[in-house]
Amino acid sequence: MAPPIDHPCLLLHLLPDTFFVRKFEPSKIGETFQDLLSKDDGGFLSITRTSEELSVVGRYKDGMEGYEEFATWRAFKIAGPMEFDLVGVLTGFLEPLKRANIGIFAVSTWNTDYILVAKEKADAAVAALEGDGWKFASK
């Protein structure tokens, strides 16, 4: 399924950095915020807490003790910003990855979506997306 419309907000970026995805107990939020924010330079960082878990996703930097083994991801960013009535974007993005048997971890923000794939699958993901009609602003 190609992008729902041909629009600059749907251009893709394969971000150059390595990303981590890590799970904590929900009670660790204070400690986790302090640790990550003290090392953060304004890069991507998402912290989501539920009653069952605390999920932390971010750009990995050398020296981030306790995160290196979780830094096994690359991230695609849909350019955005997207209007909330623009439907089918994430479905359209995920369909070619599903056909290529590539698992994902998605994070949505107000402006756009970030879709993470295993580092070793990044090239295959690019090929699957391009083959489906998605356009890259950069890789």
- Structural domains of the chain ordered from first start: 1-17+72-139 (3.30.2130.10), 19-70 (no CATH)
pLDDT for the residue 99: 96
The least confident of 10-14, 73-77, 116-120 is: 10-14
DSSP reduced 3-state for 13: strand
SS3 content of the chain, % helix, strand, coil (to 5): 30, 30, 40
Question: pLDDT value at position 97?
Answer: 96
Mean model confidence pLDDT for the chain: 85
Give the model's pLDDT for residue 33.
Answer: 67
> Would residue 63 be called left, alpha or beta, if left means φ above 0 and alpha means ψ between -120 and 50 degrees?
left
Peptide bond into 81 cis (omega under 30): yes
| 106-129 average pLDDT score | 95
Assign 29 a pLDDT band (cuts: 50, 70, 90).
Answer: low
Model confidence, pTM: 0.86
Is 64 in a helix, a strand, or coil? coil
Residue 16 has pLDDT above 90, yes or no: yes
